[in-house]
Amino acid sequence: MRWQTLSQAKWILLVLAVLTVAAWMLSGWAALVPAAMIVFTLYFFRDPDRTIPGELGLLVSPADGLVTDIGEMEEKEVTGERMLRVGIFLSVFDVHVNRAPATGRVVYTAEHPGNYHDARSPMASTHNAARTWAFDCDGTILVVRQITGAIARRIVPWALLGDRLARGEHFGMIRFGSRTEIFVPPGTEISVKIGQHVKGGSTVLGRLAAGGGSGNQERAKETVVA
């Protein structure tokens, strides 16, 4: 378990610890509830080691969760081009750390205020609070969106603009149930299916087509924001 991840729970654990002690003074049985919540919090903020595939051209999943949709659509924020989108729903039982899908440099990151619809709702993609990231992976632009849900209301960014991340390296997390979307160039060979459970950093999401996506590089560079 990485301390960077666990530190996001420090205030939750402190409050639950105080409640556990107070409840214990009244009744040992009463202390079981906050104690169980401490165990669940530690479970939720876990960050297990993952075996990162090393083969060139592979993309790994940016998140743990259930693949809910795969389809082509216009990515309006960064590239302005049609791209393949893979949507992943993260339940409260999934690891909520987000990982870079490929080795590349962070060329765009922007936070967007919004609502907190259920992350499984079609409205979550367009109406919920979110943060968008773009990675320049040797000329191919990959876009990842962290989207909040009805319970998950805080996105924690760890990477900074200009950082170069290795495939599978952490760049942030979403606290509690949420959604992660990845946009990849058309022609990318997608390896996952709707309904499949994936693991961030280790599940192969797909394989980039040779030379795919280089045409959207210049626009991404022009729209870099902090």
Q: How far apart are CA 96 and CA 72, in angstroms?
A: 25
For residue 50, being part of any structural domain is answered with: no
Judging by DSSP bridges, how do beta strands 65-75 and 140-147 pair with one another?
Answer: unpaired
Residues 130 and 18 in one domain: no
Residues 171 and 136 in one domain: yes
**Closest to 111 in 3D by CA, of 222, 220, 226:** 226
Q: How far apart are CA 56 and CA 160, in angstroms?
A: 25
Query: How many domains is the chain built from?
Result: 2
Active site residues: 178
Are the beta carbons of 90 and 64 closer than 8 angstroms? yes
HSE on the CB side for 2, CA within 13 Å?
A: 15
Residues 83 and 125 in one domain: yes
Phi, psi (5° rounding) for residue 219?
A: -65, -40
Write down the pLDDT at residue 213.
45
Residues 83 and 117 in one domain: yes
Residues 28 and 75 in one domain: no
163 Cβ contact list (under 8 Å, min separation 6): 105, 106, 171
| Residue 188 parent element (H or E) | none
CATH classification of the domain holding 137: 2.70.70.10
Residues 23 and 67 in one domain: no
**Closest to 180 in 3D by CA, of 50, 86, 73:** 86
- Per-residue model confidence as pLDDT tens for the chain (226 residues): 466 666 666 667 677 788 788 888 877 778 888 788 787 777 677 788 899 998 999 999 999 999 999 999 999 999 999 999 999 999 888 988 999 999 999 999 999 999 888 888 888 888 899 999 999 999 999 999 999 988 767 898 999 999 999 999 999 988 766 899 999 999 999 999 999 999 999 999 999 986 544 444 445 554 444 4
Residues 39 and 65 in one domain: no
Residue 146 CB burial class (10 angstroms; 0-12, 13-18, ≥19): buried
Write down the pLDDT at residue 7.
64
Write down the pLDDT at residue 10.
66
Residues 91 and 154 in one domain: yes
Residue linked to tokens 């045409």: 215
Write down the pLDDT at residue 13.
67
In this structure, which long-range contacts are made by residues 9-16, counting pairs with CB atoms below 8 Å and at least 24 apart in sequence?
9/41, 9/42, 9/44, 9/45, 12/41, 13/38, 13/41, 13/42, 16/41
For residue 52, being part of any structural domain is answered with: no
Joined tokens for residue 168: 């599978």
Residues 27 and 63 in one domain: no
Instruction: Find the domain containing 94 and state its range.
Output: 58-222
Residue linked to tokens 């169980």: 36
